[in-house]
């Protein structure tokens, strides 16, 4: 064996591995009786395989040729030798190898393999003739056509593969043969309309394949060249049989993929009628439309549910979903219920959300979602309409009427934040501690622990805050852990420069003032910090907090300027991607600056591809494209 190995030229690294492998594989081994035996053929094959994996194909070929000569019927030796010939483009020898087998058996598989090698060799005419010969060996056998088609696909002859499968249907008398294969081939070769027709035929055979069909079509639906012919094919099918539900559902999905939500709504309205769905399919469509930012069509669908099916199971869920959608709309456009002077101003989306929730509470007092919707009302009163007393009353009602529910836990959490807003830090600390003791584990308990650390920060008790953060950093879920790490860095890196930790104390004071809805006091504290310590490590965080406060106060131009300067002044800050995202969000709310917003989102995705905000930025950019074509 040693002499054999030395006849090959291996790089040092491959040589060492092959030598060791050869030694191991050629060594005798003992059976149960202690007698030595060995399998020289297998040892040589494994050595050849090792050469193959090391890219030493010529060395492998010598071994494999000897092995195959000694056992020409061994399929493993045959396949490995053919693979080695192909890897070094010794196509004549690969062809001769296949033909040696064809002398005994002229099978479709061997002929298809021969056709593929001839194609790789550059003899396309001979390859086509050989593929034809392959299927002619058993024209009524679908397997003969399958191996030939797979051989064509291996050399990326997709158009020829399509033609072959179409011919197979006629030759076998099976018009539904290779339905899925043909649809896939048509898709990857750009015949999207034909692919859709195959999928529609598959659905006609079994409507249970709908999810499978959508999954197969999804990768191609981002291309308008795929969408248009697919929609045309589905629309033609629906016209031939308008009562077939699966076709209509596929057409509705395709319209939604094309962002044509008005037409999608028409299809789902028809589907709901066909199924006697009592608004359930309209409800599902509206959820998808709202998620895609098609607010108008979502609202139409939900309003139709409420009008046509007021007593159906979908009606209460519709009211809750309408409230959530209007809240999301308001948040995305930066709607506020008060102007910069504190005067009440119209907030139509927030007001519609509140009406939807209140209607739910009045009409469905026994519904399972009642506690959750009640809590949502409290949050609107607290965060949007600044009715702290009304919010407190709602949260106390949720605690009393629905104990041991998620809504009650959230209400207890929010009552603690109301205490912070009122400057009652001890009361807030007590409520958070009670919540932690009751829940012990889970995201809300972890959030309460984090807020306990923040209370220490508000109170300028930095060492106590750091001690709690250390525990959170090690034992919490990802979301809270990220916040804990950020707070830990804030506490560790921003002490000093004096013994009083003046910059950090001013920053903590600004955070507390923000929580207590005292924007002017918060801004004064931040401005004093930046004026006195412009080069302090806290400067980037102070500017970002300043931008958040300005934006919450409705001072959008100042907020934009603050966020936009952070990447310029602090290019290495961990807040640069967040600042870009906030600046882009402000620009996107003005029709005149939406192109600039799109450019800002693109910059974020280009310069910070690993940002946690990347997915949101892509979604915002897509919506800008859909709305404005930017």
pLDDT of residue 62 exceeding 50, the answer is: yes
DSSP assignment, residue 284?
H
Residue 327 — left, alpha, or beta (φ > 0 → left; ψ -120 to 50 → alpha)? alpha
Return the pLDDT at 29.
43
* Terminal alpha carbon distance of the chain: 69
| Token couple for 280 | 């359930």
pLDDT of residue 23 exceeding 70, the answer is: no
pLDDT of residue 340 exceeding 90, the answer is: no
Check: CATH 1.25.40 for 178-258? yes
Return the pLDDT at 43.
85
Return the pLDDT at 483.
85
List, as own/partner pairs, every contact residues 328-334 make where C-beta atoms lie below 8 angstroms and the sequence separation is at least 24, other chains included: 328/290, 329/295, 330/384, 333/589, 334/551, 334/556, 334/585, 334/586, 334/589
Positive or negative, the Cα torsion across 148, 151, 157, 159?
A: positive
Under a CB-based contact definition with an 8 Å cutoff, are residues 199 and 216 in contact? Answer: yes
pLDDT of residue 14 exceeding 50, the answer is: no
The Cα 423–Cα 271 span in angstroms is 55
For the stretch 365-424, pLDDT in tens is 999 999 999 999 999 999 999 999 999 999 999 999 999 999 999 999 999 999 999 999
| Percent of residues, the chain, with pLDDT higher than 90 | 72
For the stretch 134-157, pLDDT in tens is 999 999 999 999 999 999 999 999
Secondary structure element (H or E) that encloses residue 579, with its range: helix 576-588
Q: Nearest 5 degrees, angle CA 414-CA 458-CA 382?
A: 25
pLDDT of residue 25 exceeding 60, the answer is: no
pLDDT of residue 489 exceeding 80, the answer is: yes
Burial (CB < 10 A; 0-12, 13-18, 19+), residue 191, is buried
| Mean pLDDT of the region 34-61 | 80
| Mean pLDDT of the region 44-61 | 88
Considering only residues 294 and 3, tell me which one the structure prediction assigns the higher pLDDT: 294
pLDDT of residue 3 exceeding 90, the answer is: no
Return the pLDDT at 342.
82
Q: Bridge partners of 30?
A: 36
pLDDT of residue 78 exceeding 70, the answer is: yes
The Cα 150–Cα 15 span in angstroms is 37
Under a CB-based contact definition with an 8 Å cutoff, are residues 546 and 506 in contact? Answer: no
The Cα 155–Cα 131 span in angstroms is 13
Return the pLDDT at 332.
87
Q: Bridge partners of 37?
A: 29
DSSP per residue over 87-149, as a string?
HTT-HHHHHHHHHHHHTT---HHHHHHHHHHHHHHT-HHHHHHHHHHHHHTSTT-HHHHHHHH
Return the pLDDT at 624.
85
Under a CB-based contact definition with an 8 Å cutoff, are residues 36 and 28 in contact? Answer: yes
| Mean pLDDT of the region 510-536 | 94
């Amino acid at each position: 064996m040693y002499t054999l190995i030395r006849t090959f030229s291996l790089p040092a690294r491959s040589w060492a591995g092959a030598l060791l492998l050869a030694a191991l594989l050629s060594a005798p081994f003992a059976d149960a009786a202690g007698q030595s035996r060995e399998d020289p053929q297998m040892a040589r094959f494994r050595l050849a395989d090792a050469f193959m994996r090391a890219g030493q194909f010529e060395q492998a070929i010598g071994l494999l040729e000897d092995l195959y000569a000694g056992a020409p019927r061994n399929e493993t030796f045959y396949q490995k030798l053919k693979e080695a010939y192909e890897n070094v483009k010794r196509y004549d020898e690969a062809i001769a190898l296949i033909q040696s087998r064809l002398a005994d058996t002229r099978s479709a598989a061997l002929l298809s393999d021969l056709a593929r090698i001839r194609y790789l060799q550059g003899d396309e005419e001979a390859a086509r003739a050989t593929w034809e010969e392959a299927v002619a060996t058993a024209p009524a056998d679908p397997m003969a056509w399958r191996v030939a088609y797979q051989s064509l696909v291996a050399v990326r002859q997709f158009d020829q593969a399509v033609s072959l499968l179409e011919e197979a249907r006629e030759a076998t008398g099976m018009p539904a043969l290779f339905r899925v294969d043909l649809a896939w081939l048509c898709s990857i070769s750009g015949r999207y309309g034909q692919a859709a027709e195959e999928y529609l035929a598959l659905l006609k055979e079994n409507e249970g394949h709908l999810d499978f069909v959508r999954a197969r079509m999804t990768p191609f639906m981002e291309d308008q060249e795929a969408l248009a012919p697919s929609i045309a094919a589905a629309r033609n099918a629906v016209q031939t049989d308008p009562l077939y539900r699966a076709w209509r559902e596929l057409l509705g999905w395709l319209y939604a993929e094309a962002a044509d939500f008005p037409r999608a709504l028409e299809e789902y309205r028809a589907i709901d009628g066909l199924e006697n769905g009592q608004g359930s399919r309209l409800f599902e469509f509206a959820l998808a439309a709202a998620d895609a930012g098609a607010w108008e069509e979502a609202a139409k669908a939900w309003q139709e549910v409420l009008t046509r099916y007021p007593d159906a199971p979908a009606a209460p869920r519709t009211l809750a979903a309408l409230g959530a959608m209007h809240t999301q709309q308001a948040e995305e456009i930066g709607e506020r219920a008060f102007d910069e002077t504190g005067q009440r101003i119209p907030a139509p989306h927030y007001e519609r959300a509140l009406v939807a929730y209140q209607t739910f509470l009045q009409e469905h007092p026994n519904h399972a979602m009642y506690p959750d919707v009640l809590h949502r009302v409290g949050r609107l009163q607290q965060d949007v309409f600044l009715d702290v007393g009304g919010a407190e009353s709602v949260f106390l009602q949720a605690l009393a009427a629905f104990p041991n529910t998620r809504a009650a836990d959230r209400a207890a959490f929010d009552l603690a934040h109301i205490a912070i807003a009122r400057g009652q830090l001890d009361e807030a600390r007590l409520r958070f501690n009670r919540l932690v003791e009751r829940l012990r584990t889970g995201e809300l308990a972890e959030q309460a622990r984090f807020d306990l650390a923040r209370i220490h920060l508000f109170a300028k008790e930095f060492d106590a805050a750091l001690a709690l953060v250390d525990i959170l950093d090690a034992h919490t879920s990802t979301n809270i852990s990220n916040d804990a790490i950020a707070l830990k860095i804030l506490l560790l890196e921003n002490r000093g420069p004096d013994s009083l930790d003046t910059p950090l104390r001013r920053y903590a004071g600004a955070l507390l003032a923000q929580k207590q809805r005292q924007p002017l006091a918060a801004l004064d504290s931040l401005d004093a910090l930046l004026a006195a310590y412009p080069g302090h490590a806290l400067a980037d965080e102070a500017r970002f907090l300043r931008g958040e406060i300005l934006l919450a106060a409705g001072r959008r131009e100042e907020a934009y300027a603050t966020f936009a300067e952070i990447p310029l002044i602090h290019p290495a800050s961990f807040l640069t991607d967040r600042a870009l995202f906030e600046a882009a969000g402000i620009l996107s709310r003005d029709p005149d600056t939406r192109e600039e917003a799109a450019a800002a989102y693109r910059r974020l995705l280009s310069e910070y591809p690993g940002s946690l905000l990347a997915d949101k930025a892509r979604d915002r950019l897509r919506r800008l494209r859909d709305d404005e074509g930017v």
